[in-house]
Structures are given as C-alpha cells and as structure tokens.
Amino acid sequence: MERGSDKHGPRLDDEQKHETEGLVRGGGTTHAEEWKEPEAMPAPGEESLHSYPPGHEPGVPEGMTQRDVDVRSDLAKWLSDTHWPSSKRELLARAQREGAPDPIIDMVESLPERDYTNMADVAKALGIGVEKRRW
C-alpha cells in the first residue's frame, strides 16, 4: 500500500492531513489554536474602534500643522544618520549625497549659516512648527 509521501512516516502523514483538512474542505481555518487566527480586516468605510490613552491619539501634535509634520518628516528622511551638531554645509552635503529631491535641497540651502543641534532645531530655523510638550 502506497502512502501520500515517501519522505516521512505514516504518523507525520496523518498529522499533516489533519492540519490541512480545513483548507482542503474549504470550510474553515487550518489552525488548531484560536490565538493563531488572523484578525478580520475592517470592511471599506467601517472604522476600527481604537482607544488611545489621552495625549497619545494619532494625528498632528499641538503646535504643528499636518504640512509641518509632512515637511519635517521629509527632511528627517534625507538627513537621517546626521551626526549632530552639524553645520549648514554638512547638512547640505548629506542631503546631496543621499540624493534628496530639489525641494529638500532648497530648504537646506535656505538655512542660516550656523550649527544645528537636531532636526527640531533645523525645523525651527525653517519656520516649521515644533510640537509643544506638556510636561
């Protein structure tokens, strides 16, 4: 009598058959444990119900607009791994070396000549909003 596989024994064949039975029949999952079940995706237009702790809701931080967040994020993307403090010349060289798009190069070129301590310092020099901390 020939089994389903010649790579392993009948016990493993039976175990694999049991594990894939739901998939083969098309009536359900192949997972035995409920915790392994994937969560269903929300239907289009259906909002997921998340509860966030106060002060940790998604969105724009106080003191910034969505545009500020997007611009600062773009700058940070191209200036990441910069060793702080950095001069305008070093920031410009970094952006050019990384292949930053022209709008980012233009922003860095418009910075005043001085040393910058971090991305928030760069954003402030460019007139981009900086989040206000509630401490």
Cβ partners under 8 Å of residue 79, min gap 6: 91, 94, 95, 98, 108, 119, 122
Q: What is the pLDDT of residue 112?
A: 96
Q: What is the pLDDT of residue 110?
A: 96
Q: What is the pLDDT of residue 88?
A: 96
Residue type for position 88: K
Distance CA 23, CA 5 (A): 19
CB 124: neighbour CB atoms within 10 A? 13
Q: What is the pLDDT of residue 33?
A: 64
Name residues of the chain where pLDDT drops below 70.
Answer: 1-6, 22-23, 26-39, 42, 44-57, 133-135
Find out whether the peptide bond into 58 is cis, omega within 30 degrees of 0: no
Q: What is the pLDDT of residue 126?
A: 94
C-alpha distances (whole Å) from 82 to each of 96, 101, 107, 122 are: 13, 17, 16, 12
Q: What is the pLDDT of residue 10?
A: 83
Q: What is the pLDDT of residue 48?
A: 55
C-alpha distances (whole Å) from 73 to each of 1, 10, 113 are: 65, 57, 22
**115 beta partners:** 87
